[in-house]
A and B are shown apart, each in its own frame.
Chain A
Amino acid sequence: MSTTLRIALLAGLLALVSNLAVIGFIYYRTHDEAVATVHQQVIEQGKVLADVYRSGGKPALDDAIRDTMTYADPQTAVAVLGRDGRQIEGNLDAVPPSLAKFREGYRNALIRLRGQTTPREAALVMHELPDGNWLLSGRIAGEGLAIRDALEGSLLIALIVAGLLGLLGGLILANYVGQRIGEIARVADRISARDLSQRVPVSSADDAFDQLGRQINAMLDRISTLMEELRLLTDSLAHDLRSPVSRLRSAAHAAAQATDVSEQEELLGSVIRQADSLMRILTTVLEISRSEALTGRKQFAWFDVGDLAAELAEMYDPLVEEGSATLVYDRPAWPVPLFGHRQLLAQAISNLIENAIRYGASGGEIRIRVEPSERNIRIEVADRGPGIPPERREEARRRFGRLDTSRSDEGAGLGLALAESIAHLHGGQLLLADNKPGLLTVLVLPVHADLAGEVQEPGHKPAAAA
């Protein structure tokens, strides 16, 4: 059974059930026990009179009619009508034309009894007698009898119509749902066929399908971004590995050519250094992709960020001093607990410090601060060097996005990119801002990051706070 048909049947069934409930309620409220009793009595009375005729013939019936007119309650109607519709005997004041259309069985009609002024509703039974005349008997039943009867009939029709309409509505609904899902499925098909630019159409109605469509589109955007990043990465890897590889090659070549042993040793040492730096680049690129893919969260644990920063400050202090600058660490007064990857954060912070040493030590002071707030922990590394103008900051955080175009072998331009990807691993961000003068780099890490769920879109960054 197709899904469409199933949805249609389900919707039809639901409509039927709800209509049944409404109709049942109306029936229950309007159906009168008294009316049912009247029906019963009228039918009984008709039968009795017909039996009287069968057993005693016309004289017995005449007696019975007379008795009824005399003794029965004044609401009883009884008459024998001729084939032409005239009353041969009975207590009707006049025979309404509708009764002249003879028909065996029960009916409702407006009649006026002798001595009454207005015609009233009556429940009547008619029997054809063997002599060709018609026996009529019944009771005045009060107001609304016909209405009630009509209502019951209408309710039955309504029930049938409601069932049909429910089925029809179900079919329309199923068709609509099928169509909306079909749109999404077609887009998915085209994407499977490698056209990632396809998007699910989203209407302005903002219904569940539009929301689904928007989410699928957001997912597709993210995939496209990642694919684009991957393409850029492979391109830049291929491009950026050219120069270290060619340096490695020429060093090896020179070593092979060298005649003097000590010179050869020197050159071979440089070959090894070049190879090491290549390996470092590859390892870092791998680390970045790992972090962006959010692997490594299973190694998260609680630790004190203030402690980690103190350790790193102590580690880099001598190196900063060598560059005749000073390293200042403002240690927070209290422990700053964070659930995260201690080793990777150590690497991220050390990348920021090394970046500051490499490009900002000329300014004299490198300052590290750890600033906890209710929702975020800010880890700041600030230098007093030349800084990075706002329009070049995006470039600076890109992989291989080294601003200094002269490619010396120090640093492959991966430091900030790695720090950023580690921030993403923690559901946080890397901000680059103006230290006035100098560069301020900030790792903003949420304290209660929902680490099982999505992290923020890496492309979505709030304005850097100065």
Chain B
Amino acid sequence: MGRKILLVEDDRETASYLAKGLSQEGHSVEQATNGQDGLFRATDGSFDLIILDRMLPVLDGLSVLKALRAARIETPVLILSALASVGDRIEGLEQGSDDYLVKPFSFAELLARVNALLRRREARVNPADHRLTVGDLEIDPLSRSVRRAGRKLDLKPREYLLLEYFARNEGRVVTRTMLLEQVWDYHFDPGTNVIDVHVSRLRRKLDEGFEKPLLHTVRGAGYMLAA
């Protein structure tokens, strides 16, 4: 299921590497190498996602983003930046970007975020039934109740949020940083495996006693919930 992605990145090497990777995933990628050109191409609103470098010649990424949002173009924007401090990330998000990824990043991390953003767009366009189901797992976001094969699972609030986020990204890789940012709303990089511990707790409650595991570890990338 290919999507239209606009990549605004002035570094040729990064741009071609990303374009190649995203094309291999089946997306069609259009490229711009400066902010002005990027803004010009983005204004027709035909893209499903814009990947925007923060530091660009002619017009910087945040200005492009501001101009887009001022023009009421709500295409999801993923900002790429070498500015890694917590303040920079918050600033990027406050300007109206949907996600913020710090350079250098792994392609797996980028892809996971791209997929999550595209998925969110899809969900926005086709509001589905409020119930989330993954295999024999059934989640009701209204009552926050979770059942697997009809059996009620007793989850702590944070575990529930974690599971719901996984379920909304069913079949897609979710990285540790994405979990920290989306489930906990923290934008720093913890030096410990604190996220892994939470995931493994959730996995014990979710998969213990069932033959088929739902929560998978994706080596070198993160986790995935899939039937």
Contact = CB atoms under 8 A, between A and B. Distances in A.
Check if A and B associate. Answer: yes
A282 B197 CA distance: 26
B86 A344 contact: yes
B152 to A, nearest CB: 22
Given A315-B184, A316-B194, A319-B194, A280 B87 contact: no
User: Which of under 10, 10 to 19, 20 to 34, or 35 or more describes the interface residues of B?
Assistant: 20 to 34
Nearest to B196: A319
Given A314-B158, A346-B186, A354-B191, 15 more contacts: A269-B220, A279-B84, A279-B104, A280-B191, A283-B85, A299-B90, A315-B194, A315-B198, A316-B194, A318-B197, A318-B201, A319-B194, A343-B90, A346-B188, A411-B191
Interface string B185-214: 011111111100110010000000000000
A295 B87 contact: yes
A227 interface: no
24 contacts: A275-B104, A283-B85, A286-B85, A287-B85, A287-B86, A290-B85, A295-B87, A299-B91, A311-B184, A314-B158, A315-B184, A315-B194, A315-B198, A316-B194, A318-B201, A319-B193, A343-B187, A344-B188, A346-B188, A347-B188, A350-B188, A354-B192, A357-B192, A410-B191
B46 interface: no
Given A269-B220, A314-B158, A290 B87 contact: yes
B106 interface: yes
B148 to A, nearest CB: 21
A296 B191 contact: no
Contacts of A344: 86-87, 188
Contacts of B194: 315-316, 318-319, 354
Contacts of B189: 280, 283
Interface in A266-321: 269, 272, 275, 279-280, 282-283, 286-287, 290, 295-296, 299, 311, 314-316, 318-319
A354 B190 contact: yes
Majority SS at the chain B contact face: loop
Interface of A: 269, 272, 275, 279-280, 282-283, 286-287, 290, 295-296, 299, 311, 314-316, 318-319, 322, 341, 343-344, 346-347, 350-351, 354, 357-358, 410-411, 415
Interface string B72-87: 0000000000001111
Nearest to A347: B188
Contacts of B104: 275, 279
Nearest to A358: B192
Contacts of A357: 192
Nearest to A415: B191
Contacts of B220: 269, 272
Contacts of B186: 343, 346-347, 350
Contacts of A319: 192-194, 197
Contacts of A315: 158, 184, 194, 198
